[in-house]
Amino acid sequence: MQSITERSLQGTTVLLRVDFNVPMDDGRILDDRRITAALPTLTYLHEHGAKTIIVTHLGRPKGASDPNLSTRPIAARASELLHLPVLWVADIVGEEAKALHSVMQDGQFAMLENVRFDPREEANDPAFARELASLADVFCNDAFGAAHRAHASTAGVASYLPSCAGLLLAQEIRVLTSLMTEPEHPFIALLGGAKVSSKIPVLESLLHRVDAMWVGGAMACTFLKAQGLGVGTSLVEDDQLAQCQSIMDYADAHDVALHLPLDVVVAPDITSGDAARTVDVTDIPGDCAVFDVGPRTVDAMREELASCRTLVWNGPFGAYEHAPFEKATHRIGEACMSCHGTTVLGGGDAAAALEGEPCIAHFTHVSTGGGATLEFLEGRTLPGIAALEAAPSEVVHQQ
Q: Would you list the DSSP string of 275-320? A: G-EEEEGGG--TT-EEEEE-HHHHHHHHHHHTT-SEEEEES-SS-T
DSSP category for residue 134? T
CB atoms within 10 A of CB 320: 23
Spatial distance between the Cα atoms of 211 and 100, rounded to a whole number of angstroms? 53
Q: 255 with 272: CB under 8 angstroms?
A: no
Specify the length of the chain in residues.
399
Asked, as a colleague might, if the bond just before 261 is cis with ω within 30 of 0, I would say no
Spatial distance between the Cα atoms of 159 and 174, rounded to a whole number of angstroms? 24
Q: Which residues are catalytic?
A: 34, 195, 348, 371
DSSP category for residue 262? S
**Contacts for 91 with CB less than 8 Å, ≥ 6 apart:** 97, 112, 113
Q: 82 with 52: CB under 8 angstroms?
A: no
CB atoms within 10 A of CB 256: 19
Determine the straight-line distance between the first and last CA of the chain, rounded to whole angstroms. 26
